[in-house]
């Protein structure tokens, strides 16, 4: 089996060389939160790029503007993120050339699922959340697992602190386990969505070492994408 | 000429008597190069580990360009095998490349890049490659190799300026993971040089050339003191709109007098 | 050419009874129709110069360039069919790239010339192909071999030269070149001579409208081949124009 491996040639053994089993994957960390409203959607991602205990960059955006109405947030194995977003951008351009129109958020969502499932047996190791306005101008959030399972939601958290953030959103956006009558629940405004998203990141940065530095927030409305930035703790 | 056993056969896919000739662009069967084929049914074992390795590369961006530095050591395991090998290369008038990891893989990818530069020159259209383009190309090559489970064991720093003179500094690793920043480092430099440089970064502006050179000098010194696979000699590549060249080798200013006071190990 | 083909000119794979391969002769005709091209070798520099006849003013100024860069330090100029030239330039580049891949150095010009000549010759052997309507001139300079100049004919024969010419005014150019001592010339002198010769042999009656093109490689270019290098080209053109007016004065 290992007919060409260095271990077959003891005379040539190199002292001190580490023989590692190559792993094509690496977790580069990062978290995403997306919250859909009636006529807007907010998507936020932190800007820390790390592996293990070292931080490569403190200012790496993980939000990819796919069209004026669609933003993709992608974390996980950064090289897979780069390849996947690159491929999706190419295919969106092909769509634009053949159909003479920009892909709708729903179409991008479906395509992303297919592109990811194409690598079913060697998956893109990524946690994707797609946010945008749908055909009716309503806010839409789609979340994925690494092999392309796609689900539409109104709010979702993903990435290394996804499990930490999702219950917070359940409570604050989904009003789960809140024993208040429906008419007393505060309505989901744009500002409230941004505030909740910001707060979740501040909390995540406290507990998740892969989330921090700063958070980029994209607010998508029919008028375009507004970008905001919030500093997080940098340790 | 015919006695030259190294020469390629004159006719590969050329006309031969009594046969139809496949002109170029026809569908002559092509086979993927061996290194690009995927694992076979009987198991294909690819690269096991890096053998001859280069340690850290440090790159710093300043207001008019970039600096890329690396020591001149190529190790063979723990043996300081080749002590005067440049690991920072000038690719063209816009690009510097600093290589760490398996040195054979660095040389191999460098050959590919050099050939691309000659092609650039042959086109004679005045268009030459920019650092961002090279970094992007590297991500594709490295990502494809890792996806075939046959990676190039390298971690490279790409620096330079684009056509407007705007500095570029990025890092691409063996999996194709890439990012740009005002400071990048590979190997031990990631642990030692990065925090050192980040600490000195003014919030509101870029580094000046002066500050950047001082930080490189400082980083290479710290790396020499703390990285066992390093030597006190390094080269620095400087790329600005006006100039792109490799300077050095420089010596690290060593001072071991403190060693006597170190106790308790 | 002694006789018209009489049936022996239909294939490159057949001799005529008097020992010719007419297809090669015809290919040479294609070369003779082309604008003049010269290559001259100085002390530590080689210059390729081309009289690019403007057949149509609607072409862009850089259309149909007849000088190519093959390697860092290797230039190639052609007389003859433009399309064949592009193809052979590509073949030469592949040869050079292949050599570099194997030996990690630039291909010696003699070796490149042998390879390309062999390739061109092979196109004179088969009935399925036609020879290249090309005369190819290679020029290079490097520290070890110094200036080098080679020319390949449509037949695939190749020689090294001190100075060579092809195309329309080949004979005139050769006569002119014999008057010079190129081997001792500095870069500037060589460039000026190149300009002079091309401008002098230009046929003012039929091809007055032409573009001067120049390839240069030598010590002063740091061993890099340049096509239409701004300052050197200007030097050549000025020298050429000056020589032309001086010539005209003499004739009157």
CATH of the domain at B246: 3.60.20.10
Is residue B114 domain-resident? yes
pLDDT band at B3 (very low <50, low <70, confident <90, very high): very low
Residue span of the structural domain in which B135 resides = 52-251
Mean pLDDT, residues A82-93: 96
Min Cα distance B76 → chain A (Å) is 7
Q: Which residues of C touch B9 (CB under 8 A)?
A: none
Q: How far is CA C10 from CA B22, C7, C31, C33, C122, in A?
A: 21, 6, 19, 21, 17
Nearest Cβ partner of C128 from B15, B115, B118? B15
Nearest Cβ partner of A14 from B77, B139, B184? B77
Is residue A157 domain-resident? yes
pLDDT band at A184 (very low <50, low <70, confident <90, very high): confident
Q: What pLDDT, on a 0 to 100 scale, did the predictor assign at position A200?
A: 95
**CB proximity A4 to B under 8 Å:** yes
Question: In terms of DSSP H, where are the helices of chain C?
Answer: 22-33, 82-103, 109-122, 170-177, 187-201, 230-251
pLDDT band at A7 (very low <50, low <70, confident <90, very high): low
Determine contact, residues A201/A44, Cβ cutoff 8 Å.
yes
pLDDT band at C252 (very low <50, low <70, confident <90, very high): very low
Is residue A169 domain-resident? yes
Min Cα distance B119 → chain C (Å) is 8
Mutate to test the interface with B, among C113, C122, C222, C224 (most CBs of B within 10 A): C122
Is residue B229 domain-resident? yes
Interatomic CA distance for residues C210 and C35, integer angstroms: 9
Min Cα distance C233 → chain B (Å) is 16
Q: What pLDDT, on a 0 to 100 scale, did the predictor assign at position B42?
A: 52
Is residue A78 domain-resident? yes
Is residue B42 domain-resident? no
CA B93 to chain centre: 16
Whether C and A touch, i.e. at least 3 CB pairs below 8 A, reads as no
Answer whether C118 sits within 8 Å of B1, measured CB to CB.
Answer: yes
Residue of B nearest to A24 (CA): B146
Determine contact, residues A10/A23, Cβ cutoff 8 Å.
no
Nearest Cβ partner of C97 from B15, B16, B115? B115
Establish whether the linkage from the previous residue to B124 is cis, with ω within 30° of 0.
Answer: no
Digit-coded pLDDT (tens) for A190-206: 999 999 999 999 999 99
Answer whether B48 sits within 8 Å of A5, measured CB to CB.
Answer: yes
Answer whether B8 sits within 8 Å of C98, measured CB to CB.
Answer: yes
Which residues of B sit within 8 Å Cβ distance of C? 1, 6-8, 10-11, 14-17, 20-21, 111, 114-115, 118-119, 121-122, 124
Interatomic CA distance for residues C173 and C182, integer angstroms: 14
Interatomic CA distance for residues A131 and A225, integer angstroms: 11
Lowest-confidence pick of A89-93, B147-151, B162-166: B147-151
Q: What pLDDT, on a 0 to 100 scale, did the predictor assign at position B258?
A: 84
Nearest Cβ partner of B147 from A3, A24, A49? A24
Q: How many helices (H) and strands (E) does chain B have?
A: 4, 13
Determine contact, residues A21/B61, Cβ cutoff 8 Å.
no
Bridge partners (DSSP) of residue C250 are none
Digit-coded pLDDT (tens) for A70-82: 999 999 999 999 9
Whether C199 has a pLDDT exceeding 80, the answer reads yes
Question: Does residue B123 sit in helix, strand or coil?
Answer: helix
Q: How far is CA A208 from CA A42, A60, A216, in A?
A: 22, 17, 17
Q: What pLDDT, on a 0 to 100 scale, did the predictor assign at position A9?
A: 62
Residue for token digits 């006569």? C175
Is residue A149 domain-resident? yes
**Per-domain residue ranges for chain C?**
22-246
Mean pLDDT, residues C207-216: 90
Q: What pLDDT, on a 0 to 100 scale, did the predictor assign at position B182?
A: 96
Q: Which residues of B touch A5 (CB under 8 A)?
A: 45, 48
Whether C226 has a pLDDT exceeding 70, the answer reads yes
Interatomic CA distance for residues B178 and B134, integer angstroms: 12
Round the average pLDDT of chain B to a whole number and report it.
87
Tell me the torsion sign for CA atoms C224, C229, C235, C240. Answer: positive
CA atoms within 13 A of residue C46's CA, in its CB half-sphere: 31
Is residue A2 domain-resident? no
Inter-chain contacts counted by CB atoms under 8 A, chains B and C: 48
Q: Which residues of B touch C65 (CB under 8 A)?
A: 124
Q: Which residues of C touch B113 (CB under 8 A)?
A: none
Nearest Cβ partner of B14 from C65, C122, C127? C122
Q: How far is CA A135 from CA A99, A131, C103, in A?
A: 16, 13, 60
CA C128 to chain centre: 27
What's the total number of domains in chain A?
A: 1
Q: What pLDDT, on a 0 to 100 scale, did the predictor assign at position B50?
A: 83
Digit-coded pLDDT (tens) for B85-115: 999 999 999 999 999 999 999 999 999 999 9
> Which residues does A165 contact at the CB level (< 8 Å), separation at least 6?
A31, A33, A157, A200, A203, A204
pLDDT band at B1 (very low <50, low <70, confident <90, very high): very low
What's the total number of domains in chain B?
A: 1
Q: What pLDDT, on a 0 to 100 scale, did the predictor assign at position C188?
A: 95
Residue span of the structural domain in which A81 resides = 27-231
pLDDT band at B164 (very low <50, low <70, confident <90, very high): very high
Digit-coded pLDDT (tens) for C110-150: 999 999 999 999 999 998 899 999 999 999 999 999 999 99
More confident residue, B24 or B172: B172
Is residue A18 domain-resident? no
Round the average pLDDT of chain A to a whole number and report it.
91
Digit-coded pLDDT (tens) for B18-34: 555 555 554 555 566 66
More confident residue, B101 or A181: B101
What percent of chain B clears pLDDT 70, i.e. is strictly above it?
Answer: 82
Answer whether B146 sits within 8 Å of A24, measured CB to CB.
Answer: yes
Residue of B nearest to C102 (CA): B6
Interatomic CA distance for residues C187 and C216, integer angstroms: 9
Digit-coded pLDDT (tens) for C58-86: 988 888 899 999 999 999 999 999 999 99
What percent of chain C clears pLDDT 90, i.e. is strictly above it?
Answer: 79
Mean pLDDT, residues A145-172: 95
Instruction: For domain C22-246, give the CATH superfamily.
Output: Aminohydrolase, N-terminal nucleophile (Ntn) domain (3.60.20.10)
Digit-coded pLDDT (tens) for C17-58: 989 999 999 999 999 999 999 999 999 999 999 999 988 889
Answer whether C104 sits within 8 Å of B10, measured CB to CB.
Answer: no
Contacts 24+ apart (CB under 8 A), A212-216: A212/A46, A212/A48, A213/A46, A213/A47, A213/A48, A213/A55, A213/A58, A213/A59, A214/A46, A214/A47, A214/A58, A214/A59, A215/A44, A215/A45, A215/A46, A215/A47, A216/A44, A216/A45, A216/A46, A216/A47, A216/A61, A216/A62, A216/A63
> Which residues does A181 contact at the CB level (< 8 Å), separation at least 6?
none
**CB proximity C132 to B under 8 Å:** no
Is residue B163 domain-resident? yes
Interatomic CA distance for residues A162 and A150, integer angstroms: 16
Interatomic CA distance for residues A41 and A70, integer angstroms: 10
Q: What pLDDT, on a 0 to 100 scale, did the predictor assign at position C204?
A: 84
Whether B78 has a pLDDT exceeding 80, the answer reads yes
* Domain CATH code at residue A171: 3.60.20.10
Is residue A176 domain-resident? yes
Tell me the residue length of chain A: 235
Q: What pLDDT, on a 0 to 100 scale, did the predictor assign at position C11?
A: 85
Answer whether A6 sits within 8 Å of B51, measured CB to CB.
Answer: yes
Q: What pLDDT, on a 0 to 100 scale, did the predictor assign at position B2?
A: 44
Bridge partners (DSSP) of residue C146 are C142
Interatomic CA distance for residues B193 and B56, integer angstroms: 9
Q: Which residues of A touch B173 (CB under 8 A)?
A: 79
Tell me the torsion sign for CA atoms B151, A82, A57, B161. Answer: positive
Answer whether B181 sits within 8 Å of A56, measured CB to CB.
Answer: yes
């Amino acid at each position: 089996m290992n007919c060409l491996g260095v271990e077959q040639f003891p005379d040539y053994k190199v002292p001190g060389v580490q023989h590692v089993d190559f792993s094509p994957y690496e977790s580069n960390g990062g978290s995403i939160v997306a919250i859909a409203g009636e006529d807007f959607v907010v998507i936020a991602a932190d800007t820390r790029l790390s592996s293990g205990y070292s931080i490569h960059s403190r200012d790496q955006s993980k939000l990819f503007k796919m069209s004026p109405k669609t933003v993709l947030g992608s974390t996980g194995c950064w090289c897979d993120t780069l390849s996947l977003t690159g491929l999706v951008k190419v295919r969106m351009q092909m769509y634009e050339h053949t159909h003479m129109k920009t892909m709708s958020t729903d179409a991008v969502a479906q395509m992303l699922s297919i592109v990811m499932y194409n690598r079913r047996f060697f998956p893109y190791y990524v946690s994707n959340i797609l946010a945008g306005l749908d055909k009716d101008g309503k806010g839409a959030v789609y979340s994925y697992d690494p092999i392309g399972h796609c689900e539409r939601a109104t709010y979702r958290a993903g990435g290394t602190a996804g499990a930490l953030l999702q219950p917070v959103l359940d409570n604050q956006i989904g009003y789960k386990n809140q024993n208040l009558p429906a008419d007393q629940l505060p309505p989901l405004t744009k500002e409230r969505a941004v505030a909740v998203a910001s707060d979740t990141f501040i909390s995540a940065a406290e507990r998740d070492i892969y989330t921090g530095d700063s958070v980029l927030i994209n607010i998508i409305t029919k008028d375009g994408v507004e970008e905001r930035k919030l500093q997080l703790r940098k340790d | 000429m015919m006695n030259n056993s190294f020469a390629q056969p004159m006719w590969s896919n050329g006309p031969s008597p009594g046969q139809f000739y496949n002109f170029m662009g026809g569908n002559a069967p092509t086979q993927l190069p061996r290194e690009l084929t995927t694992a076979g049914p009987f198991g294909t074992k690819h690269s096991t580990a890096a053998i001859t390795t280069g340690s850290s590369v440090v790159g710093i961006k300043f207001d008019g360009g970039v600096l890329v530095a690396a020591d001149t050591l190529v190790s063979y395991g723990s043996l300081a095998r080749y002590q005067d090998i440049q690991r920072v290369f000038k690719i063209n008038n816009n690009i510097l490349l600093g290589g760490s990891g398996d040195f054979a893989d660095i040389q191999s990818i460098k050959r590919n890049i050099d050939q691309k530069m000659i092609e650039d020159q042959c086109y004679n259209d005045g268009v030459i490659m920019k650092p961002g383009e090279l970094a992007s190309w590297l991500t594709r090559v490295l990502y494809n190799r890792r996806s075939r489970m046959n990676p190039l064991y390298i971690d490279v720093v790409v620096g330079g300026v684009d056509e407007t003179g705007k500095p570029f500094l990025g890092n691409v690793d063996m999996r194709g993971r890439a990012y740009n920043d005002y400071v990048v480092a590979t190997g031990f430099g990631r642990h030692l040089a990065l925090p050192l440089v980040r600490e000195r970064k003014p919030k509101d502006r870029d580094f000046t050339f002066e500050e950047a050179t001082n930080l490189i000098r400082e980083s290479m010194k710290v790396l020499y003191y703390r990285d066992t696979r390093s030597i006190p000699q390094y080269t620095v590549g400087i790329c600005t709109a006006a100039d792109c060249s490799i300077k050095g080798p420089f010596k690290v200013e060593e001072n071991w007098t403190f060693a006597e006071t170190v106790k308790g190990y | 050419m002694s006789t018209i083909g009489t049936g022996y000119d239909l294939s490159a794979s057949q001799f005529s009874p008097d020992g010719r391969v007419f297809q090669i002769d015809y290919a040479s005709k294609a070369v003779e129709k082309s604008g003049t091209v010269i290559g001259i070798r100085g002390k530590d520099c080689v210059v390729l110069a081309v009289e690019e006849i403007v057949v149509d003013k609607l072409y862009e100024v850089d259309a149909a360039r007849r000088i190519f860069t093959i390697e860092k330090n290797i230039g190639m100029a052609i007389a003859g069919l433009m399309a064949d030239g592009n193809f052979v330039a590509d073949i030469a580049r592949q040869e050079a790239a292949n050599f570099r891949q194997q030996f990690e150095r630039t291909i010696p010009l003699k070796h490149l010339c042998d390879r390309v000549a062999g390739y061109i010759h092979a196109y004179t052997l088969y009935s399925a192909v036609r020879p290249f309507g090309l005369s190819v001139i290679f020029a290079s300079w490097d520290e070890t071999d110094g200036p080098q100049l080679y020319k390949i004919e449509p037949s695939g024969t190749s020689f090294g030269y001190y100075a060579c010419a092809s195309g329309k005014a080949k004979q005139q150019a050769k006569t002119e070149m014999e008057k010079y001592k190129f081997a001792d010339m500095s870069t500037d002198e060589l460039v000026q001579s190149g300009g002079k010769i091309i401008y002098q042999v230009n046929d003012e009656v039929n091809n007055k409208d032409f573009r001067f093109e120049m390839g240069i490689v030598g010590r002063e270019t740091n061993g890099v081949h340049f096509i239409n290098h701004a300052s050197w080209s200007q030097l050549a053109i000025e020298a050429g124009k000056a020589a032309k007016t001086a010539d005209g004065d003499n004739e009157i």
